[in-house]
């Protein structure tokens, strides 16, 4: 089946630095990708919708200047956490669906665990 | 707007026993409903989905769920639990097919399933 891959799986950084997380669709073209955030023992919260070639759409309460999303190609979306702080520590998960099958399955990446010291 | 409520954050069953994970939804339009499973430090895997076809949906690993509009429910069941079923399960709802809205999922709080030998 279709695969979505995230990199890195784990990242530890110092407070104030920026971290980039990549989300790749490996065998399909994803015109739309979604970024979720999951705090420990909590559910997934949608952060933003990433659209290839255009600006991302952010959910209410999500700071677009802090969580920069770039969807420069049909197989890659990146989430950059700028000036990270300990409260940004979380599990970030992306998802994507085949742009040629808009009613098809939504595939999830393995997730990226960010720890900010 | 749509929402999902999963009743019971933890469910514990014996190996071989019936698994029942409860999910109720709220949606102003006919919903699409999903069940996902998440193993520790991993992304989500789709178990099954309801997309307005048959109300009884069969998924992977022996799971099934029944859409009951009158009860606004989409409970997940499995006749006989296996140790490998121990994981966290998320119910999710989205609206419509096609366009970007299909992938915009709202998740429940999650239910951790524990299976005892």
Binned at pLDDT 50, 70 and 90, residue A66 comes out as: very high
**pLDDT one-digit tens code per residue, B78-92:** 999 999 999 999 999
Residue B117 touches partner A, C-beta closer than 8 Å: no
Tell me the count of A-B CB pairs closer than 8 A. Answer: 61
Look at residue B98 in the predicted model and tell me its pLDDT. Answer: 46
Using the Cβ of A23 and the Cβ atoms of chain B, whether some distance falls under 8 Å is answered with: no
Mean pLDDT in residue range B28-54? 86
C-alpha–C-alpha distance, residues B83 and B114, integer Å? 8
- Give the model's pLDDT for residue A84: 96
Contact flag A93-B44 (C-beta cutoff 8 Å): yes
- Residues of chain A neighbouring B45 (CB-CB closer than 8 A): 108
What percentage of residues in chain B have a pLDDT greater than 90?
67
Q: Do B107 and A43 touch (CB under 8 A)?
A: yes
Q: Which residues contact A93 (CB under 8 A, 6 or more apart)?
A: A6, A35, A36, A37, A38, A44, A108, A109, A111, A112, B43, B44
In angstroms, the Cα distances linking A113 to A1, A4, A94, A109, B68 are 24, 16, 12, 12, 36
């Amino acid at each position: 089946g279709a695969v979505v891959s995230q990199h890195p799986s784990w990242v530890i950084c110092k407070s104030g630095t920026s971290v980039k997380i990549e989300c790749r669709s490996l065998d399909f073209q994803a015109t739309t990708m979604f970024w979720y955030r999951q705090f420990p023992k909590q559910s997934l919260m949608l952060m933003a919708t990433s659209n290839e070639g255009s600006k991302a759409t952010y959910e209410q309460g999500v700071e677009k200047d802090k969580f920069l999303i770039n969807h420069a190609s049909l197989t890659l979306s990146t989430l950059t956490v700028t000036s990270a702080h300990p409260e940004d520590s979380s599990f970030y998960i992306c998802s994507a669906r085949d742009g040629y099958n808009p009613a098809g399955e939504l595939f999830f990446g393995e997730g990226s665990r960010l720890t900010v010291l | 707007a749509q929402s999902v409520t999963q009743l019971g954050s933890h469910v514990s069953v014996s190996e071989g026993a019936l698994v029942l994970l409860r999910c109720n939804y709220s949606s102003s339009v006919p919903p699409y409903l999903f069940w996902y499973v998440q193993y520790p430090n991993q992304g989500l895997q789709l178990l099954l989905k309801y997309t307005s076809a048959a109300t009884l949906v069969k998924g992977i690993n022996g799971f099934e769920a029944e859409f009951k509009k009158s009860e606004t429910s989409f409970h997940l069941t499995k006749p006989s639990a296996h140790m490998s079923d121990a994981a966290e399960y998320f119910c999710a709802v989205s609206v419509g097919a096609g366009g970007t809205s299909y992938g915009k999922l709202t998740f429940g709080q999650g239910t951790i399933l524990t299976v005892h030998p």
